[in-house]
Chains A and B, each alone.
Chain A
Amino acid sequence: MAAIEMVNLTKHYKQGKNVIKALDGVNLKIDTGEFVAVVGRSGSGKTTMLDLLGLLLRPTAGTVIIDGVDTSKLKDGDRATMRGESIGFIFQEFNLLPTLNALENVMLPLRYTKKDPQGEARAKRLLTEVDLADRLTHKPAELSGGQSQRVAIARSLVNNPALVLGDEPTGEVDNETSDQLLDLMRRMNREHGVTFVIVTHDMDIAQRADRIIRLKDGKVASDEPIGAREGAELAG
């Protein structure tokens, strides 16, 4: 079953008299539990696609259907609720709140959704799963880059989302940490059955996905399961 469906998904920006076609009529389906990498050069529309999937942007045309809900018909408040309940985010720069400790950062999305008595226990369990059980009360300033991103991964899963979106989630860490983070995300993807869509420039990272979608000039240039192409070709 498709967890996410992009139907003629389009986002155009006006820049003076010119129209920038950031995303131009994209049609894609992503199944539940898939781990998808979106690749492409700068300006190809990767981040715009992620913002549209995350309901952070409204499309110029078309729609995103998440778990059967046509999101184009949702009001701003409902989109915020859906972000809180169904979508997790992992950002390149971690985006942890400096005044909150690791556990509080993981629990942040719980503030904006229905009260969940199991929320704190789940946040602790997730921090244990990302190997940070001994860092619950540490502030972001006391954590390494890799640890911070692991907190962010735990945060993205705390509301049992249908979809986790990663925007260059390993872009701020070294190669070794990057590998560890990817292992972690794949494990979470398998164990929690959550759909992951990550945007990356790193072909090594992309190749560890189930499927690679390559964008070019706002359109889908290729959409292949991993192994169908060589990474070198994808980079082109």
Chain B
Amino acid sequence: MFEIIRNLTRRKLRNGLTVSGIVIGVLALTTLGAIAEKANYSIDGGVRYFRDHVSVGAAQNGGFGGGLLTVDKAKDIQAVDGVQAACAATGVSAKTDLDFSLSFGPGDQVTAEQPGCQQYSTFKLTYAKGHAIDETGTGQVVLGSDIAKEFKVNTGDTIALPRPPKKYNPDYVGHDFTVVGILDKTLTAPDNFAIVSFKDGQTLFGDALPAALRGRVDPTTLATGINVYAKAGVDLDKLAQKINDTVPGVSAIAPSTLVNAFKSASVFLTAITTGAALLALVVGGLSVVNTMLMAVTERVREIGLKKAVGAHTYHVLREFLTEATILGVVGGLVGLGLGWGLALGINAYFASQNQNELFLVTSRLVTFALAFSIGLGMIAGVVPAVRASRLDPVTALRYQ
């Protein structure tokens, strides 16, 4: 093994450049993979989050208030066969400024659902700190892990929602809330949720209405959506269809439609990662092949000598394969280290700018990147190693 390492250090520049090729490939693989992992986790979370209920909104081309949904629609939906609970909900942006941040996650939302509805959701929220809000009260908020970090607040703190604009805006209306709980990280939508009581949610929604409507409608009759939970064994897609068929003025979205949309995004991101892997394969692989072929050419006499003193074909094969694999391992470790460091650095920067993290370096990504680089070295080393092992000792010994 020492000899192999010495052989590698004998041509420092050449092997350094080869390792650099692998480093670039694995760096690309790690960083793009970490972006894809982050997005895929959000997507998986979205799938889990949206799969347990039917989302109902106002019909686009009809209904009261040009698309506004009234709470009493929940009662109509409740009457549909197969519905266990129809819960009116509100969701408004937690920020009043336009958010141009680069983020794959849903935007920061202040969400609310009618009291007693959480029990129907299979997506259970757990608390890192504090406890749930009083669903019938006002002035309390539970924050998702990301939004709590972004707004730099802790349990017991008071926070104005929606967040005040950076520049003065005469239309801004904010309300103070006491943070009573912070959720565990879910890696999906609730990480960016500020959960308030339905009463507060309606108030915030009323404030967010266009100026022309404000004061003309009673916010306590309004909702932005209805979450419909089905009885056991009921197909949610069929239930959505049934709601659309029987309840006028609403539009129920089949969960499979949302899930499929998430999954196609996931396929796209996986394609990006695969592309990075292919890039690494081409850049790193070809440089390893080139380097190892040069090493074989340079060391023909050595190979001849080793065969003369008793080395079998497999000894020579193993030696060159090990050498190529070490190039892969070193390139992989350095590339992974740099990629990981870059991801942590950028994540830290985003956090300092109150933005969501962009990268997620998972154990499976680390394992894949390392396995990939080791496999790359080995595979790229096969041709040179076979060539070395098949050298005729007489020809090799007298090679000039």
Q: How many residues of B contact A (CB 8 A)?
A: 20
Asked whether A100 lies within 8 Å of B3 as measured between CB atoms, the reply is yes
Asked whether A99 lies within 8 Å of B10 as measured between CB atoms, the reply is yes
Asked whether B308 lies within 8 Å of A111 as measured between CB atoms, the reply is no
Asked whether B310 lies within 8 Å of A112 as measured between CB atoms, the reply is yes
Tell me which residues from 97 to 124 in chain A have a Cβ below 8 Å from any Cβ of chain B.
97-100, 104, 108-109, 111-113
Tell me which residues from 286 to 341 in chain B have a Cβ below 8 Å from any Cβ of chain A.
301-302, 304-313, 315
Closest residue of chain A to B319, judged by CB?
A111
A143 interfacial contact with B, CB 8 Å: no
The interface residues of chain B lying within 8 Å CB-to-CB of A104 are: 3
Q: Knowing A51-B394, A56-B394, A99-B6 touch, does A112 contact B301 (C-beta < 8 A)? A: no
A16 interfacial contact with B, CB 8 Å: no
Closest residue of chain B to A84, judged by CB?
B310
Asked whether B309 lies within 8 Å of A109 as measured between CB atoms, the reply is yes
Asked whether B397 lies within 8 Å of A91 as measured between CB atoms, the reply is yes
Asked whether A83 lies within 8 Å of B310 as measured between CB atoms, the reply is yes
The interface residues of chain A lying within 8 Å CB-to-CB of B394 are: 51, 56-57
Q: Mark A22-60, 1 if CB is under 8 A from B, else 0.
A: 000000000000000000000000000001001011000
The interface residues of chain B lying within 8 Å CB-to-CB of A83 are: 307-310
Partner of B308, one of A54, A77, A81: A54
Partner of B302, one of A51, A54, A97: A97
Partner of A56, one of B6, B306, B308, B315: B308
Complex Cα gap A98–B305 (Å) = 12
A222 interfacial contact with B, CB 8 Å: no
Closest residue of chain A to B7, judged by CB?
A99
B174 interfacial contact with A, CB 8 Å: no
Closest residue of chain B to A152, judged by CB?
B305
Distance (Å) between the CB of A119 and the closest chain B CB? 13
Complex Cα gap A83–B311 (Å) = 9
Complex Cα gap A109–B305 (Å) = 10
The interface residues of chain A lying within 8 Å CB-to-CB of B3 are: 97, 99-100, 104
A70 interfacial contact with B, CB 8 Å: no
Q: Knowing A51-B394, A56-B397 touch, does A80 contact B311 (C-beta < 8 A)? A: yes
Closest residue of chain B to A76, judged by CB?
B313
Distance (Å) between the CB of A132 and the closest chain B CB? 19
Task: Name, among B310, B311, B315, the residue most crowded by chain A CB atoms within 10 Å (CB to CB).
Answer: B310
The interface residues of chain B lying within 8 Å CB-to-CB of A84 are: 309-311
A85 interfacial contact with B, CB 8 Å: yes
Complex Cα gap A168–B76 (Å) = 104
The interface residues of chain B lying within 8 Å CB-to-CB of A108 are: 305-306, 309
Complex Cα gap A104–B3 (Å) = 9
A95 interfacial contact with B, CB 8 Å: yes
B45 interfacial contact with A, CB 8 Å: no
Q: How many residues of A contact B (CB 8 A)?
A: 27
Closest residue of chain A to B307, judged by CB?
A80
Partner of B305, one of A76, A88, A95, A113: A95
Asked whether A112 lies within 8 Å of B312 as measured between CB atoms, the reply is yes
Q: Mark B342-386, 1 if CB is under 8 A from A, else 0.
A: 000000000000000000000000000000000000000000000
Asked whether A56 lies within 8 Å of B309 as measured between CB atoms, the reply is no
Asked whether B397 lies within 8 Å of A95 as measured between CB atoms, the reply is yes
The interface residues of chain B lying within 8 Å CB-to-CB of A91 are: 305, 397
Complex Cα gap A60–B301 (Å) = 25
The interface residues of chain A lying within 8 Å CB-to-CB of B310 are: 80-81, 83-85, 109, 112-113, 159
Partner of B393, one of A56, A77, A99: A56
Complex Cα gap A181–B302 (Å) = 23
A196 interfacial contact with B, CB 8 Å: no
Complex Cα gap A69–B397 (Å) = 25
Complex Cα gap A95–B396 (Å) = 11
A155 interfacial contact with B, CB 8 Å: yes
Asked whether B397 lies within 8 Å of A112 as measured between CB atoms, the reply is no
Complex Cα gap A100–B2 (Å) = 9
Complex Cα gap A111–B302 (Å) = 14
Distance (Å) between the CB of A122 and the closest chain B CB? 15
Distance (Å) between the CB of A86 and the closest chain B CB? 9
The interface residues of chain B lying within 8 Å CB-to-CB of A95 are: 301-302, 304-305, 397
The interface residues of chain B lying within 8 Å CB-to-CB of A85 are: 310
Complex Cα gap A35–B371 (Å) = 55
Tell me which residues from 160 to 216 in chain B have a Cβ below 8 Å from any Cβ of chain A.
none
The interface residues of chain A lying within 8 Å CB-to-CB of B313 are: 76-77, 80
The interface residues of chain A lying within 8 Å CB-to-CB of B10 are: 98-99
Complex Cα gap A99–B6 (Å) = 6
Distance (Å) between the CB of B201 and the closest chain A CB? 73
Complex Cα gap A108–B397 (Å) = 16
Tell me which residues from 158 to 178 in chain A have a Cβ below 8 Å from any Cβ of chain B.
159
Complex Cα gap A4–B267 (Å) = 70
Asked whether B315 lies within 8 Å of A111 as measured between CB atoms, the reply is yes
The interface residues of chain B lying within 8 Å CB-to-CB of A112 are: 306, 309-312, 315
Partner of A77, one of B304, B306, B309, B312: B312
Q: Give the B-binding residues of A (Cβ under 8 A).
A: 51, 54, 56-57, 76-77, 80-81, 83-85, 88-89, 91, 95, 97-100, 104, 108-109, 111-113, 155, 159
Known: A89-B308, A100-B6. 5 other contacts (CB 8 A): A77-B313, A84-B309, A84-B311, A89-B305, A111-B315
Complex A-B, nearest 4 residue pairs according to Cβ-Cβ distance, in ascending order:
A84-B310, A112-B310, A99-B6, A109-B309
Give 22 A-B contacts (CB < 8 Å), ordered by A residue: A56-B307, A56-B393, A56-B394, A77-B312, A80-B310, A80-B312, A81-B310, A81-B312, A83-B309, A91-B305, A91-B397, A95-B302, A95-B304, A97-B3, A97-B305, A98-B10, A99-B6, A99-B10, A108-B305, A108-B309, A109-B309, A111-B315
